[in-house]
Amino acid sequence: MPLSWLPTWCAASMSFYVEALNLQGLARSHVARDCHDQAWGAFLTILTDKAVEAGRSVIAVDARNTSQLCSACGALVPKPLGERWHRCACGYQADRDINAARNIYRLGESRQALTWSTGACVA
């Protein structure tokens, strides 16, 4: 995958939020192929390098329930991995990955708020 867009992307963003995945654990499971664990690990290395060059940060957030929690109301909406659409009783619905991305963003922003209030960078 060409990554020529990455420096521009890093310069335009303050921080990047990613799920803190256990890549070694995934590599030992059958899920490894589905998660493209090696490609994801390589991408995170490149993203981190480019973000640091641009004076930005990459913040890993807890991956638990990012696709199960409703990003609109916070309700737990259990669904199997094969179910790709998030549909909540509150009325919010979206692609499963979009819902998870919104949760990851919210978690990352909350980590930033904690970082700024103490004055120490935990990223």
Residue 90 interacts with Zn ion (CB under 5 A): yes or no: yes
For residue 71, the 8-state DSSP code is T
Query: What's the distance, CA 88 to chain centroid?
Result: 21
CB of 106 to Zn ion, least distance (A): 13
Residue 26 interacts with Zn ion (CB under 5 A): yes or no: no
Piece of the chain touching Zn ion by CB under 5 A; list 6-14, 16-24, 87-95, 103-111: 87-95
Total Cβ atoms within 10 A of residue 20: 12
- Tell me whether residue 21 or residue 72 sits nearer to Zn ion (CB atom): 72
Distance CA 1, CA 3 (A): 6
User: Of 96, 16, 94, 100, whose CA–CA distance to 58 is shortest?
Assistant: 16
User: Cα separations (Å) of 14 from 2, 10, 51, 59, 94?
Assistant: 22, 8, 9, 11, 25
CB of 104 to Zn ion, least distance (A): 16
Phi, psi of 20 (to 5 degrees): -85, 85
CB of 89 to Zn ion, least distance (A): 6
Residue 100 interacts with Zn ion (CB under 5 A): yes or no: no
Give the contact letters, 32-71, x = binds to Zn ion (CB under 5 A), - = no.
Answer: --------------------------------------x-
Binding site for Zn ion (CB under 5 A): 70, 72-73, 75, 88, 90, 92
